[in-house]
């Protein structure tokens, strides 16, 4: 769940909880107040009627009683009935034309010693508030008044609906406001997240605009300072890596030259001496032994020659990248019994700067070595070309392939380290290495290095 949605839901939930809590609190409060007011009205009506009915009951003025209760019924809209009972429970006057409903007489008795009694009755006409009030302590009779609770309940329901509608309107407005607020709050955070992902991909030049001086602005400033430090450290690392690689290549060149010149000459002299000894020896046993030593010396010279080529082929410095790779791919195919197809393309015409040529040579060497060690390939294709100011190298094989995401375990660890080395070498020249592969479908290594036409020779 995004932070924006969390903020919106939090504000909406708060508004909803407070709105519903306020609505139901108001409903219950208003309902209680309305019930109290209705009961007070009933008591006032019954008390007023008691004051007038006591004399009428004592004089047995039935006509006066009916005139009084009809006057009350006409003046009170909520009034549903008025009943005046005699001391023995007989009906003296009533608004019911057909007699009292069943059970009404016994529904609300007045306990001894109380001035009145109130009951809520559920009838066919709805909920009624029944008020019973003795006349002269019950000696003259009892007054029963019934008030409808319909208007009270209707008013409470209407108010509840209005409050719910207001809550809904506030909720809608709150959603809009919270969405806008969340957008304002999360937009710089989203930019920070995008910048962080860019930094994770290696783009250390990414900056975040500082639009405020609050905590988000401080975070943006800290992020920019962090990327500046990372960029400086990355530049230092690349500079040191370039120095290490340059020193490594110089050392390779020196060792290869010493192996080729000094050790090679010594072994050549040894072979010539053994040849002379073989020719001048009289004993057949000695001749056979000398022949074996010549074979060992020849094999050692060949091994030293191969080692010298692996360290730094002289053709790379003397004849250039194309000649060095032609010889390397030919020797590689013969050594590992793999068919290697090499095409130079436009790079055959002009030479790259020596640093570029060394980088391309080492990356191709690493790609082919990985293929020989891990892919079990039968065919390899290596293509060099120059397109729109970029040197493009493609090395493809039909081997077992692998997962370029790096999720494999050993023995693929060594291969991933080789890929990392290729990427580092390419990055030093502003280039990039792309790997396309999947298990069982072979591997393709793409190398792109920008070149300046003026640097070509």
pLDDT tens, 49-74? 888 888 787 778 888 888 888 888 88
Average the pLDDT over 112-136 and give the result. 86
CA distance 268 to 250: 26
Please say whether the beta carbons of 88 and 80 come within 8 A.
Answer: no
Residue 408 pLDDT class (50, 70, 90 cuts): very low
Determine the pLDDT at residue 394. Answer: 92
Mean pLDDT, to the nearest integer, of 21-35?
88
Q: Which residues contact 81 (CB under 8 A, 6 or more apart)?
A: 94, 95, 96, 144, 145, 146
Residues 401, 375: Cα–Cα separation, whole Å: 6
Domain ranges of the chain: 3-160, 204-312, 319-455
| CATH no. of 319-455 | 3.30.565.10
| pLDDT of 305 | 72
Question: Phi first, then psi: what are they for 353, rounded to 5°?
Answer: -55, 150
**What does the alpha-carbon distance between residue 63 and residue 211 come to, in Å, rounded to a whole number?**
89
| C-beta pairs of 140-143 under 8 Å, 24+ apart in sequence | 140/53, 140/54, 140/57, 140/58, 140/87, 141/53, 141/57, 141/84, 141/85, 141/86, 141/87, 141/92, 142/84, 142/85, 142/89, 142/110, 143/46, 143/49, 143/50, 143/53, 143/82, 143/83, 143/84, 143/85
- pTM for this predicted structure: 0.52
Cα dihedral value 298, 304, 308, 314, nearest 10: -20
* DSSP-derived secondary structure for 395-457: EEE-S----TTS---TTHHHHHHHHHHHHHHHHHTT-EEEEEE-TTS-EEEEEEEE--GGG--
Distance of CA 10 to the CA centre of its chain: 19
pLDDT average, residue stretch 197-221: 80
**Sign of the alpha-carbon torsion through 226, 228, 229, 234:** positive
Residue 8 reports pLDDT greater than 80: yes
The CATH number of 3-160, from 3.30.450.40, 3.30.450.20, 3.40.50.1000, 3.40.50.300, is 3.30.450.20
The torsion angles phi and psi of 214, rounded to 5 degrees, stand at -85, -165
**Quick one: pLDDT at residue 381?**
92
- Is the pLDDT at 410 greater than 70? The verdict is no
Q: Helices 412-428 and 354-370 sit at what angle, rounded to 10 degrees?
A: 170
pLDDT in tens, 279-324: 787 777 877 888 888 888 887 877 777 777 677 777 777 788 888 8
The mean pLDDT of the chain is 82
Round to the nearest angstrom and report the end-to-end CA distance of the chain.
Answer: 58
Residue 339 confidence class, pLDDT cut points 50, 70, 90:
very high
pLDDT-derived band of residue 395, with 50, 70 and 90 as boundaries? very high
Q: pLDDT, tens digit, for every residue of 432-454?
A: 888 888 888 889 999 999 887 76
pLDDT at res. 409? 37
d(CA 98, CA 145): 17
């Amino acid at each position: 769940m995004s932070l924006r949605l969390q903020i919106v839901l939090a504000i909406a939930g708060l508004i909803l909880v407070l709105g519903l809590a306020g609505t139901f609190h108001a409903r219950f409060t208003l309902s209680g107040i309305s019930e109290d007011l209705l009961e007070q009205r009933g008591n006032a009506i019954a008390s007023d009627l008691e004051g007038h009915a006591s004399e009428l009951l004592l004089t047995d003025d039935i006509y006066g009683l009916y005139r009084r209760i009809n006057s009350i019924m006409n003046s009170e809209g909520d009034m549903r009935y008025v009943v005046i009972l005699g001391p023995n429970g007989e009906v003296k006057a009533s608004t019911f034309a057909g007699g009292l409903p069943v059970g009404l007489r016994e529904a609300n008795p007045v306990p001894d010693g109380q001035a009145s009694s109130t009951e809520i009755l559920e009838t066919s006409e709805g909920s009624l508030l029944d008020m019973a009030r003795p006349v002269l302590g019950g000696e003259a009779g009892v007054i029963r008044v019934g008030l409808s609770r319909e208007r009270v309940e209707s008013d409470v329901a209407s108010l509840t609906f209005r409050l719910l509608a207001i809550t809904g309107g506030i909720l809608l407005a709150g959603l809009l406001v919270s969405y806008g607020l969340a957008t304002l709050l999360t937009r710089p955070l989203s930019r920070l997240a995008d910048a962080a992902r860019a930094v994770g991909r290696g783009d250390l030049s990414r900056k975040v605009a500082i639009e405020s001086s609050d905590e988000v602005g401080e975070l943006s400033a800290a992020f920019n300072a962090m990327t500046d430090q990372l960029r400086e450290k990355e530049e230092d690392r690349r500079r040191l890596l370039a120095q290490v690689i340059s020193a490594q290549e110089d050392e390779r060149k020196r060792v290869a030259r010493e192996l080729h010149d000094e050790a090679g000459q010594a072994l050549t002299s040894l072979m010539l001496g053994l040849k002379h000894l073989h020719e001048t020896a009289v004993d057949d046993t000695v001749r056979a032994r000398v022949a074996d030593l010549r074979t060992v010396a020849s094999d050692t010279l060949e091994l030293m020659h191969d080692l010298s080529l692996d360290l730094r082929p002289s053709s790379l410095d003397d004849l250039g990248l194309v000649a060095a790779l032609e010889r390397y791919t030919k020797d590689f195919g013969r050594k590992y019994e793999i068919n290697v197809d090499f095409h130079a393309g436009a790079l055959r015409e002009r030479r790259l700067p020596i640093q570029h040529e060394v980088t391309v040579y080492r990356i191709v060497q690493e790609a082919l070595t990985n293929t020989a060690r891990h892919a079990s390939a039968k065919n390899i294709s290596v293509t060099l070309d120059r397109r729109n100011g970029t040197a493009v190298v493609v090395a493809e094989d039909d081997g077992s392939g692998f997962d370029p995401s790096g999720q494999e375990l050993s023995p693929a660890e060594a291969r991933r380290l080789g890929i990392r080395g290729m990427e580092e070498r390419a990055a030093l020249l502003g280039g990039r290495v792309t790997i396309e592969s999947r298990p069982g479908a072979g591997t393709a290594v793409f190398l792109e290095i920008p070149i300046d036409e003026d640097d070509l020779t």
